[in-house]
Structure 1
Amino acid sequence: MKKQNYQHSKKIKAVIIGILTLAAVLFSVPFLQDFYTCYVKSTTTVKYASKLPEAIQPAETIHAPTLQTVLGMQTQARTAVGRVVMPSVGLDDDIYAGLTNENLFYGAVTLFPNRTVRKHNLVLIGHNMGHTKVHFGVLKDAKVGQKVYLQYLGKYYQYTVYKTSTILETQINKVKDTVDSELSLVTCSAPTQTPNRILVQAKFDGLIANPRSQANMQRSHMKMVNNTQKSVVGYDFWPIFIIWLVYLLLVILVIVLK
């Protein structure tokens, strides 16, 4: 009888530990995904082209990155067509030509790559990862009057935000072309699947030709990279550590209980 009770108790403990393990894994997945995304983004070597590639990758159906697809991405040398920086909200993302899931993992993409800066509405889209320092999720904090700096095809530009709004993903007319130079930044309104998009629109201020101003933009870039790496520790690493510490304590408790 005692042996049967022991075997029964052992099975119950195994089931409980299995449930605890599954719960710990599920709670950890979003943090692991952000952690690895930040790691790859901050360690990828990027070169900036002075002209668009001769062949631009065809547009793909975009989906939110999963842990499996994120873990499939590797640190590697990549060629971007530019970079967009918005210091007031902590935005600093490389820009790629070609609406693909891979490009969106590494940075922002140009929705209409053949539009030029000076006489068109340049539309950039990026993922909202939920992490405050990764990609375009920071656009939720954008406000009218804030400055946006664009490094694009070898030149530097400055813009001022004149409108922020939430639109439906089907309202493509909101990013229609213009005869004046504008910049439109678009992202999902939440890190989960949603039909809503945050739209930040900025007017062209002028070309940044001063080498000192360009150097300031580079310093801003390095500062934001460092801030991103530091934020990963607080935002992703410690929650993962706490989840598995609690898991370990609960497992020990289950094992020692009779």
Structure 2
Amino acid sequence: MKQTKKTHKLLIILLFIIGAGFICYPIIKNTVTIINIKEQEITETKVFPQAVSENEKIELPTAESYLTASKEDINDAVGQLSIPSVKIETPLFAGLHNQELLYGAGLMYPERSIEKDNIVVLGHHLGISDLLLGNLTKVSLHDKIHLRLLDKTYQYTIIEKKQVHEEDIEVLANTPSPQLTLITCDEPTITDQRIVVTAKLEEEKSAKQSLSTVKAAEQKNKQELVRKSFIKYSLRPILLVLAVVTFGSWCIWRYV
């Protein structure tokens, strides 16, 4: 009788742990994503590419996307996108290519001129707000955006933020005056809604620091965001789940 009761307890604990494992899947996915973004070394070109391959149909990133990503399929970045008010700091690539969008944002029309055109930048919303363009949903009017392209940095001021349907291509059209258009999904899932942020060009910022110093500061900011994301979205949830599983298993063994 005692042996049967012990077996039942072990079975209940096993089912409890399996259930906790299913709950842990989003945590595991976040951990894989964060570690891959942290470990992936993004190099940067010194010359803007003369030819850029065609834009790809953008796919929703998954944990498998990061596990199977190949460094050989990732071209050099052409700059950096920064929005200090919401802690966005991400590499900028020429064109929209799924492998590169796992690690940064992409220029939809790399042939357009910053001084004259509408520069359209797309990036993923991973559900990990501090990475890629996840925090774009939190920007406010008049926030500043810094876009560095090769060795030049441009400053923009946000003048509009709206949500549109994915088929609303009007936001992609060129404009008579220079502006920046940032686009990401409204949620980190398959969705037909997009967050669109429009900013006007204010100035080309003069270099007060050397380019190497600027890049070092950008890299430091990125690593700090990744570290905080790991603590918030991976370490804390994992410790919480372990504590719940341990306490729950003890309660089952003690009282059931």
Give the TM-score band, short-chain normalised. 0.7 to 0.9
Contact 2:9 2:253 in 1 (8 A): no
Q: Give me the identity figure in percent.
A: 26
Contact 1:43 1:75 in 2 (8 A): no
The answer to whether structure 1 residue 137 and structure 2 residue 134 are counterparts is yes
Give how far 1:199 is off: 0.7
Name the SS of the counterpart of 2:119 in structure 1.
strand
Number of the residue aligned with 1:50: 46
Q: What is the correspondence of 1:214-229 to structure 2 with a 5 Å cutoff?
A: 215=213, 219=217, 221-229=219-227
Give how far 1:228 is off: 3.1
TM-score, scaled relative to structure 1: 0.85
Give how far 1:173 is off: 0.8
Cα gap change, 1:199/1:233 in structure 2, threshold over 3 Å: closer, same or farther? same
| Alpha-carbon distance between aligned partners in 1 of 2:78 and 2:132, rounded to the nearest angstrom | 16
Q: Which residue identity does 2:57 align to in structure 1?
A: T
More divergent stretch after superposition (186-195 vs 84-93): 186-195
Cα gap change, 1:74/1:240 in structure 2, threshold over 3 Å: closer, same or farther? farther
| Alpha-carbon distance between aligned partners in 2 of 1:18 and 1:67, rounded to the nearest angstrom | 26
Number of the residue aligned with 1:240: 238
Cα gap change, 1:223/1:241 in structure 2, threshold over 3 Å: closer, same or farther? same
Number of the residue aligned with 2:93: 96
Give the alignment partner of residue 22 of structure 1, picking from 2, 12, 18: 18
Give how far 1:134 is off: 0.7
Q: How many residues align?
A: 254
CA RMSD of aligned residues (A): 2.8
Give the alignment partner of residue 111 of structure 2, picking from 114, 127, 142: 114
Cα gap change, 1:106/1:138 in structure 2, threshold over 3 Å: closer, same or farther? same
Q: Which residue identity does 2:172 align to in structure 1?
A: V
- Unaligned residue ranges in structure 1 (runs of 5+): none
Give the alignment partner of residue 35 of structure 2, picking from 23, 36, 39: 39
Give how far 1:21 is off: 3.4
| Alpha-carbon distance between aligned partners in 2 of 1:63 and 1:19, rounded to the nearest angstrom | 35
Name the SS of the counterpart of 1:132 in structure 2.
coil
Number of the residue aligned with 2:148: 151
- Unaligned residue ranges in structure 2 (runs of 5+): none
Cα gap change, 1:80/1:224 in structure 2, threshold over 3 Å: closer, same or farther? closer
TM-score, scaled relative to structure 2: 0.85
Contact 1:121 1:181 in 2 (8 A): yes
The answer to whether structure 1 residue 59 and structure 2 residue 55 are counterparts is yes
More divergent stretch after superposition (207-216 vs 36-45): 207-216
